[in-house]
Every structure is written in structure tokens, then in C-alpha cells.
Amino acid sequence: MHFFKISLKNSIVYRWSVLFSIIGSILYVAISLMLWRFLYRNDADMIAYMTKYTIVSNIISMFYARGISGRIGDKVATGAFATDLIRPVHLFTMAWQMELAGICANLLMRGLPVILVYLPFLIANAGYYNLFAVFLSVALGHMLFLLIYSLLGFSAFILIEIWPFRRLIDDTIRLLAGGFIPLAILPAFVGHIAHALPFRFLYSFPLELLFGKADMDKAFENFAVLIVWISVFGLLNALMYRQALKKAVVQGG
Amino acid sequence: MEFLSIYGSYVKMFFKARMEYRFSFFSGMFANFYCYFITYATIWVITRQFGAIDGWKFEDMTMLYGLNLFTYSIAGVLFWYTVFHLDEEITSGNLDSYLIRPMGLVKQMICRRFGDTFLGQIVVTLIFMVSAIAKIDYQMTAFSYVYLAFAVLGGVLIQSGAMIILGSLSFWLLRSSDLADIVYYDMRTFVHYPLSIFPAFIRIVLTYVLPWAIINYYPSLIILNKVQTTEEFVLGILSPVIGILFFLLSLFVFNRGLRRYSGSGS
């Protein structure tokens, strides 16, 4: 809890940064909205759908904090990892709490203004479904995202510099998770790739649930697959951590 | 010439050091290549789905986005790591050590770090732009190629000027990166698309307040034969001149800021 509090305070200490990040978030959504409104200018229903899709997807993105890879990766690269081994809190738990604080600060300082500014669009012809399932899918998506990026952090034992690989994952998510472009408009072969990877559970799946585009059987199947993906990445994290402990050599008196 | 020779020596040393970590070097380059490949893929998906964006097909969009990215990458090789991130140099105290050396500050900062990670962007942009030039409907003339070279020069100068001005703000604000994110990165996102799809006030801001549209939009109108008004033609044709003026302005702002700087230590 203390890590959470400290990290939350750190997130809001630079007031100008907070203001600029609020403006940045509102601007980013505005640019995407203008693009979709132009592209679907002859289809009012699609404009309404893409408007809500863009705003909600932007809010969902705030639940996915990629900083954990840096937190773990930097400790591995600098050797600070060794001192964390003697602490009573697991490195992953510590990094996760800090990320959770960052997410709370983000939701307060960026999410809330985005919701307030775009509220008229969000409530116009509101047709939201499966809210409990949506929250559950975002919570599970958060776990999946966290495990993918913490695995990347631990892989600093092998890769040393992890930022290029973080960028590869970021960009793959940008195209294949359905955060910006709905998966339905991807060409078939790209759509197949997106469906074979776990990233679609981050944006596309919760958004499909929210807008009533997924039937219940399909939704249950998707939840099952998502839990399998979380288990796979959880297992890989545990394996990587154990291997790291076996190989790590700590010098000192 | 002397500066170029010194810069050449620094670049040589940089690559020698970087080659000690070949895997990191090439993975960094590949990551940037992949990042912008994905951006081009996103543009392709949108234009494939909608045919074109206000008459701009994928090849036209490639020219538009490519001009922005290519000029950004060249400016980034020189200025991104140090001048654009001047706030880090100031808060870490490194800037003071530059000031006791005989070479000009901006020149020293250019030499200090070669932006190798931008090479991946340059490669991917060249691939897409050359392919776009081969496929665009409009026949490129000798004038188009000469103009393209000058437009790239103008774009590089505007991007470099932007990096210098936004970095220089650290002399006044100490931390300018957050402001730079909005003014430079977020606002420049508009010019990834044809400005004609946005409201008029955005076109005015991106032309007369922040000259980002002069980097790629107006030059693309000329290269792709899409000019419709005299204003568009004049802004496009003058883009290299605007680039020179903007770059000189940025050096003026930098020097004004430097005069105000009084050191970071006690």
C-alpha cells in the first residue's frame, strides 16, 4: 500500500505535466474523432458508433500501464534487482502496486476530463450492454497486459536493452488489438493474425461486449481463451523469474 | 567544413562504441522500422477500406506521411537526443560542462549523440516513398523531383527548428518535454492526414501558428498536383524559405535562452 501511495504522489507532483497530459488526451481523442467523422460522413449510425468506440477505447487504454517492463527491466539492468531480493515484497508485486497507482492517477487526471469533455457524445443514443462482463474483461485484460510487459522486464536478463522489444509489442497492439481500428475492418489475413494473438482481448473484446456485438456463447468462449492466455503468461513469468534467480550472481560482502 | 570533419569523427567513434553492442543496435533500428511500418500498414488499412481519404489514395497518403516522417528522422538524427531534450541536460547539470568548451553549444550537442535509432525510420520511409512515387497517378516531372529535394530541405529545417525552440523552452521552464509532447507530437498528428478533412481553424493554426503543415501538406499538394488555391501554391513553393527563416528564429530563441541561463549548481 505504501508503494501505491508514494507512486500516486509522484504521478501528480508536476502540475504542469498533469495539465499538459490532460490536454494531450483530449486532443488525441479529438483527432481520431475528426478522422472517423469524416470517413463515415454519410453514415450517422457509424459516426455515433465510432465516436463512442474511440472515446471508450481511449479510457480503456488507461487501465493498461506498460511501465512495469521498465520498472523490472531497469532493476535487472542496473543490478538493483539484487537488493529487492532481500525485501519482504516480491519484485512483481511491488512494481504492480506502483503501476496501479499510476493507473489511478491517470484515470483521475486524464480519464475523468476525457469523460467530462466527451460526455454528450457518450450519452447520446446510449446503448451499452453487459457492463459487468465489460469490467471483468478489462480487469482480466489488465492482468494479461501486465504479465506480457513484466515478462518483457524479466527478459532484460537475456536481452539487456528491452526498449526495442517493448516498442515491437506496443506497435503490434496498436494495430492488432482493435484500440484504434476495429478488427472488423482489417483485411481478412490481418484479421486472422489478430485473432490468433492475445492482444484483441485488450480492446476489441471489451468493446464488442459493451456495444452488444458479441453473443453470450462467444463471450464465454472468449473469457475462457483469455484466462488460458493469462495462465500461459503467468507461467512464463514464474519460469523466467526462477531461471533468473538460479543464474543471478550477487557480489558483495 | 571544420565542423563537418569533427562531426564525422564523433559519428565514427559513436558507431565503434555502438558496434560493441550489435544486438542492441540492430534491435533498436528494427524496432523503429517496425513501428513506422505498422503506421503505414494502418494508413493502408484505412485507405483500403474507404478507397481514399478526401481523394488521397494510399500512395498520396504515403507521400504526405513520408515527407513528415523523413524530415523528422533527419532532424532527429541531429537534434532529438540532446537539443530537443535540453531539459535533461539542464537538470542533470551536464549543460555546464558544455559551456566551458570552445565549440558552439548547439554544435557540441549535435556531436554528442548521433540519433542512430532514427535510421530505421529513414529506411522504411524511403522504401514507401520510392514505391509511392512509382505508383502515383500524376506523372512526376524534373521540376517535381527538384522541388521534392527542396521541400525535404525545408521540412528538415522546420523540424530541426521545432526541436531547437521546444528544447530551448527549458531555459525558461526547466522542464519542457510535456509541452513539447502536445505542441510538437500531438499537434503534428493532424498533418498525418490531409488538412482538408479538418475544420478551417485547425488549418489556420497548423499553417500560421505552428508551421507543421508546411513540412508536408503544402509540398505534397504541389508534388501530387492537388493545388487548388493560390495560397496553397505559395505556401508550398515557399516551404524551403519558410524552413530557413524558422530555423534562424529557433537559433535566435536558443541564444536568448542561453543568455538567461545561470547554471544548475550552487
- The answer to whether position A253 is within a domain reads no
Task: At A91, list the grid cell.
Answer: 519484485
Does the pLDDT of residue A253 top 60, yes or no? Answer: no
Q: How would residue A252 be classed by pLDDT, with cut points 50, 70 and 90?
A: low
- The answer to whether position A252 is within a domain reads no
Looking at residues A184-212, what average pLDDT do you find?
Answer: 93
Chain A residues with CB under 8 Å of a chain B CB are 14, 16-17, 20-21, 23-24, 27-28, 31, 34-35, 38-39, 159-161, 163-165, 167-168, 170-172, 174-175, 180-181, 185-187, 190
Low-confidence spans in chain B with pLDDT less than 70: 264-266
The whole-number pLDDT of residue B43 equals 93
Looking at residues A194-221, what average pLDDT do you find?
Answer: 92
DSSP A118: T
Is the distance from CB of A24 to CB of B186 less than 8 angstroms?
yes
Nearest by Cα to A148 from A181, A174, A170: A170
The minimum CA-CA distance between A17 and chain B, rounded to whole Å, is 6
- The answer to whether position A93 is within a domain reads yes
- The answer to whether position B168 is within a domain reads yes
d(CA B168, CA B256): 9
**Which tens digit of pLDDT belongs to each residue from A115-138?**
999 998 888 777 787 889 999 999
- Which residue reads 505542441 in cell numbers? B183
d(CA A201, CA B176): 36
- The answer to whether position B138 is within a domain reads yes
- The answer to whether position A132 is within a domain reads yes
Residue A34: which of B45, B173, B198 has the nearest Cβ? B198
Q: Which residue does chain B place closest to A35, by CA atoms?
A: B197
d(CA A95, CA A101): 10
Is the distance from CB of A205 to CB of A232 less than 8 angstroms?
no
**Which tens digit of pLDDT belongs to each residue from A8-21?**
666 666 667 778 88
Please indicate if any CB of chain A lies within 8 Å of the CB of B199: yes
Is the distance from CB of B195 to CB of B202 less than 8 angstroms?
yes
Q: How would residue A1 be classed by pLDDT, with cut points 50, 70 and 90?
A: low
The count of structural domains within chain B is 1
Give the domain range for residue B175: 27-260
Is the distance from CB of A219 to CB of A133 less than 8 angstroms?
yes
| Mean pLDDT across chain A | 88
Answer whether 0.80 is exceeded by the pTM: yes
Give the domain range for residue A60: 2-247
Is the distance from CB of A69 to CB of A153 less than 8 angstroms?
yes
Q: How many CB pairs under 8 A join A and B?
A: 82
- The answer to whether position B21 is within a domain reads no
**Which tens digit of pLDDT belongs to each residue from A51-97?**
999 999 999 999 998 888 888 888 888 888 878 778 888 888 888 88
The count of structural domains within chain A is 1
Nearest by Cα to B60 from B238, B234, B226: B226
d(CA A112, CA B61): 34
Is the distance from CB of B125 to CB of B70 less than 8 angstroms?
yes
ipTM at complex level: 0.84
d(CA A199, CA A183): 11
- The answer to whether position B8 is within a domain reads no
Does the pLDDT of residue A185 top 60, yes or no? Answer: yes
Is the distance from CB of B95 to CB of B260 less than 8 angstroms?
no
- Chain B CB contacts of A171 under 8 Å are 34-35, 38
Looking at residues A177-194, what average pLDDT do you find?
Answer: 92
CB contact under 8 A, A185 and B181: no
SS3 content of chain B, % helix, strand, coil (to 5): 80, 0, 20
The whole-number pLDDT of residue A135 equals 95
The whole-number pLDDT of residue B265 equals 59
Which SS3 state, helix, strand or coil, does residue B56 take?
A: strand
The whole-number pLDDT of residue B245 equals 97
The whole-number pLDDT of residue A4 equals 67
